[in-house]
């Protein structure tokens, strides 16, 4: 007997060996064939080819295949009038839906996110933002010396291709179902020569061309960054007055000074690119080197303001830094620069299309840095306090929200209508994330990486691993459970367990709000004990310290005149840790929201792809349609918890000031 659910779920197209329009198209054509089959059964027709088709878009041989597959079961339909009427109605609805959907534009966009350790691709429904399939492939990283981290653009591209194909397979979609693709990636520096071949950046193995990427977290350029900062050049105003060794200009200067032959190969007709821009360039078969406004403004000291002195590239800045007049030409570092979401002329090249499993010419969006994609994938959602009929987030809405993109590191993204300078905090970057708004960007160079380090180097780590294995959970979840047990036994709120252990999280330097890579971590309150209890409390104190540093950044924004931040929206791997979320809500005394789609970085890239692919008229419109808010974490209203956080925050700020004083006392003594 036929049921509505059976009629509404036709067999997958590939089950019948169908091809040519992609899996989604095949499903819709089979839905129509399934509906026709109902009609055939009602009229006792066994020859599908003889039946006059109401929709010419379904080849008769496909209907025959579907007909033969299900004829035996469907012949059981009774011929009473009520059943005939019901089947006819279902068939009619299916035919109408099949015709409408088969003629519609492609419904999916692909966002590709290249993080520190893996490449991921997500197939996203452009109308709802639903993530339909994710593909993931790990990527290599070399660490030849302390603070030196390198990757391969060839290895990353292969991982991207594998991820895209896998995501489409999991989602059950084909080439014709995809309207566009976009890339986001870490802000790592890629080196290519004039033939678009990789140029090695490893001083230990200079002839290994495969290692042609200086990874974002690489701090080899500390000395070069300090030299640039000593200039006090006006161009440093957009990086909070202090350039970071994680940015591209210090890295290029390091190459010029330490590996001059490699630098010369790139500057003489080659290209330096941010990783996201390299992926777009590679996807066009090296035909279009369009750069993203996001990457060059945030990491290359490019000024995107519509008017004013020094707009664009600043040759005077490059010369004073130490580059020759002709060493960093626009064709080397960026000639055509467009906002994220704009369509790159030519789209996906034929070779790249074959590697990715996509169609040649597919619309390709200008991409962006991975953390900024997280902002696009989360900040535009309507909050619970806002009207249901709100079209999309206004400039004022965006000003009041702070995006926390938290994983290996953390980025804090705040938008502003005004050009607000915050000492020690990156920005203001014009139109780097949202067109027409200034972006201020705080951050922590080590967040998840810090927690992992403290856990994995502790004497109780092996005991923790065994407990986590027994519980079938990650080590952080096992620690959270252990903390809950300790709090229950002591009859105190969980945060108070770390009341006597204080920590500053600058183990990899301070990105914000000091902008000081020479800062280091500190722990106060240790004893000779090294039990599981001690590990759990140290982990809790570190989680609290990360939250206090976020508060320090927000207070720096407030003091500089930024619009008040009233809501936090978080995305990234650390949001899966409820302790991390609660400590941030408590320390900042603000609600913290999660996007409904937890993979907000992938979603942000897909928003750009959907815009370039024509599914939405603008990035803002795509954000409104494709993003929404999920879970909410509210500050703990227990007065004891609030009082403890206030006291610990005062200790935190004093520890930061004390370390600066220690360094002043010690003078030029190394602090590493």
Domains assigned to the chain: 4-102 (no CATH), 108-375 (3.30.420.40), 376-445+594-629 (no CATH), 448-563+640-666 (1.20.58.2240)
Beta bridge partners of 112: 121, 183
Report if pTM > 0.85: no
- Looking at residue 538, its pLDDT comes to 99
Residue 301: is its pLDDT beyond 80?
yes
Question: What local confidence, expressed as pLDDT, does residue 311 receive?
Answer: 84
Which pLDDT belongs to residue 43?
A: 43
**Quick one: average pLDDT of 2-22?**
35
CB 438 within 8 A of CB 450: no
Task: For residue range 318-367, list pLDDT tens digits in order.
Answer: 999 999 988 999 999 999 999 999 999 999 999 999 999 999 999 999 99
For 108, 113, 120, 138, 571, the CA distances from 161, given in Å and listed in that order, are 17, 12, 10, 12, 25
The pLDDT-based confidence of 28 (bands split at 50, 70, 90) is very low
Mean pLDDT of 248-261: 98
416: pLDDT strictly greater than 90? yes
Q: What is the pLDDT of residues 256-269, one digit of tens each?
A: 999 999 999 999 99
Closest to 518 in 3D by CA, of 145, 116, 215, 223: 223
Residue 382: band (very low, low, confident or very high) from pLDDT cuts 50, 70, 90 = confident
Residue 609 has pLDDT above 60, yes or no: yes
pLDDT tens digits along 479-529: 999 999 999 999 999 999 999 999 999 999 999 999 898 999 999 999 999
pLDDT at 59 over 60: no
Percent of the chain beyond pLDDT 70? 82
What is the DSSP secondary structure assignment for residue 187, as one 8-state letter? -
Indicate the pLDDT class of residue 238, thresholds 50, 70 and 90. confident
Residue 669's pLDDT is 63
Is the model's pLDDT at 54 over the cut of 60? no
pLDDT higher than 70, residue 33: no
The pLDDT > 90 percentage for the chain reads 77
Q: What does DSSP assign to residue 440?
A: E
In terms of C-beta distances under 8 Å and separation of at least 24 residues, what long-range contacts does 69-76 make, across chains too?
Answer: 69/11, 69/16, 70/34, 70/37, 71/37, 71/41, 71/46, 73/2, 74/2, 74/37, 74/38, 74/41, 75/41, 76/1
437 close to 431: Cβ distance less than 8 angstroms? yes
The Cα-based distances of 426 to 90, 260, 590 in angstroms read 59, 29, 23
Cα–Cα distance between 358 and 353 in angstroms, integer?
Answer: 5
Q: What is the pLDDT of residue 306?
A: 81
Which of the two residues, 77 and 641, has the higher pLDDT score? 641
Which pLDDT score is estimated for 209? 96
pLDDT bracket for residue 387 (50, 70, 90) = low
What is 371-389 written as a DSSP string? HHHHHHTTTTSPPTTS-TT
Mean pLDDT of 395-403: 92
- Which strand (E) or helix (H) includes residue 31? helix 22-42
pLDDT at 62: 38
User: For residue 81, what pLDDT is reported?
Assistant: 44
**pLDDT given for residue 96 in this prediction:** 40
Q: What band does 380 get if pLDDT is binned at 50, 70 and 90?
A: confident
- Looking at residue 240, its pLDDT comes to 83
Average pLDDT for 180-208: 97
- CA 120 vs CA 123, 137, 166, 594, 602: distances in Å: 10, 7, 10, 20, 8
Whether 607 shows a pLDDT value over 50: the answer reads: yes
* Tens of pLDDT, residues 96-146: 444 444 445 789 999 999 999 999 999 999 999 999 999 999 999 999 999
* Measured distance CA(158)–CA(156) in Å, rounded: 5
pLDDT at 672: 52
């Amino acid at each position: 007997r036929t049921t509505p659910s059976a009629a509404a779920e036709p067999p997958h197209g590939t089950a019948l060996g169908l091809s040519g329009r992609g899996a989604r198209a095949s499903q819709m054509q089979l839905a129509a064939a399934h509906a026709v089959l109902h009609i055939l059964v009602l009229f006792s027709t066994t020859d599908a080819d003889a039946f006059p088709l109401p929709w010419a878009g379904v080849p008769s041989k496909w209907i025959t295949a579907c007909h033969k597959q299900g004829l035996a079961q469907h012949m059981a339909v009774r011929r009473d009038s009520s059943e005939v009427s019901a089947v006819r109605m279902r068939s009619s609805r299916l035919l109408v839906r099949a015709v409408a959907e088969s003629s519609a534009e492609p419904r999916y966009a692909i966002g590709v996110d290249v993080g520190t350790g893996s490449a991921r691709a997500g197939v996203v429904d452009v109308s709802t933002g639903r993530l339909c399939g994710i593909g993931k492939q790990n990527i290599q990283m070399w660490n030849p010396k302390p603070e030196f981290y390198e990757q391969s653009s060839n290895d990353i591209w292969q991982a991207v291709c594998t991820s895209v194909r896998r995501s489409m397979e999991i989602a059950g979609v084909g080439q014709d179902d995809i309207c566009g693709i976009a890339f986001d990636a870490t802000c790592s520096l890629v080196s290519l020569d004039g033939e678009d071949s990789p140029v090695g950046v490893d001083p230990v193995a200079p002839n290994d061309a495969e290692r042609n990427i200086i990874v974002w977290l690489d701090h080899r350029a500390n000395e070069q960054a300090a030299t640039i900062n000593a200039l006090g050049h006006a161009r440093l105003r957009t990086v909070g007055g202090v350039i970071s060794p994680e940015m591209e200009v210090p890295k290029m200067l390091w190459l010029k000074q330490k590996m001059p032959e490699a630098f010369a190969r790139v500057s003489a007709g080659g290209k330096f690119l941010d990783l996201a821009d390299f992926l777009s360039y590679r996807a066009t078969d090296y035909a279009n080197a369009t750069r993203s406004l996001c990457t060059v403004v945030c990491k290359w000291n490019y000024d995107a303001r519509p008017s004013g002195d020094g707009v664009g590239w600043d040759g005077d800045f490059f010369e004073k830094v130490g580059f020759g007049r002709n060493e960093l030409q626009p064709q080397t570092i960026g000639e055509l620069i467009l906002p994220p979401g704009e369509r790159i002329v030519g789209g996906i090249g034929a070779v790249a299309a074959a590697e990715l499993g996509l169609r040649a010419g597919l619309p390709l969006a200008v991409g962006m840095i991975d953390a900024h994609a997280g902002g696009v994938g989360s900040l535009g959602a309507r909050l619970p306090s806002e009207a249901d009929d709100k079209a999309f987030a206004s400039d004022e809405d965006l000003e009041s929200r702070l995006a926390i993109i938290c994983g290996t590191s953390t980025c804090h993204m705040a938008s502003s209508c005004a050009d607000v300078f915050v000492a020690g905090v990156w920005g203001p970057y014009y139109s780097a994330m949202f067109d027409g708004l200034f972006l201020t960007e705080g951050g922590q160079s080590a967040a998840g990486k810090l927690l992992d380090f403290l856990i994995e180097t502790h004497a109780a780590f092996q005991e923790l691993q065994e407990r986590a294995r027994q519980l079938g959970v990650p080590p952080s979840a096992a620690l959270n459970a252990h903390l809950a047990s300790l709090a229950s036994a002591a009859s105190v709120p969980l945060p108070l367990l770390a009341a006597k252990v204080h920590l500053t999280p600058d183990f990899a330097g301070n990105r914000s709000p000091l902008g000081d890579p020479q800062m280091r971590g500190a722990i106060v309150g240790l004893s000779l004990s090294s039990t599981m209890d001690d590990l759990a409390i140290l982990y809790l104190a570190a989680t609290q310290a990360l939250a206090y540093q976020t508060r320090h950044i927000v207070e720096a924004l407030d003091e500089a005149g930024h619009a008040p931040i009233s809501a936090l929206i978080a995305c990234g791997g650390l949001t899966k840790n409820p302790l991390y979320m609660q400590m941030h809500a408590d320390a900042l005394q603000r609600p913290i929201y999660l996007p409904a789609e937890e993979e907000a970085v992938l979603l942000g890239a897909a928003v750009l792809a959907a815009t370039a692919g024509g599914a939405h008229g603008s990035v803002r419109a795509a954000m409104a349609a494709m993003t929404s808010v999920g879970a909410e974490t509210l500050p703990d209203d227990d007065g004891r918890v609030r009082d403890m956080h206030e006291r610990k925050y005062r200790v935190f700020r004093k520890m930061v000031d004390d370390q600066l004083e220690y360094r002043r006392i010690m003078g030029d003594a190394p602090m590493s």
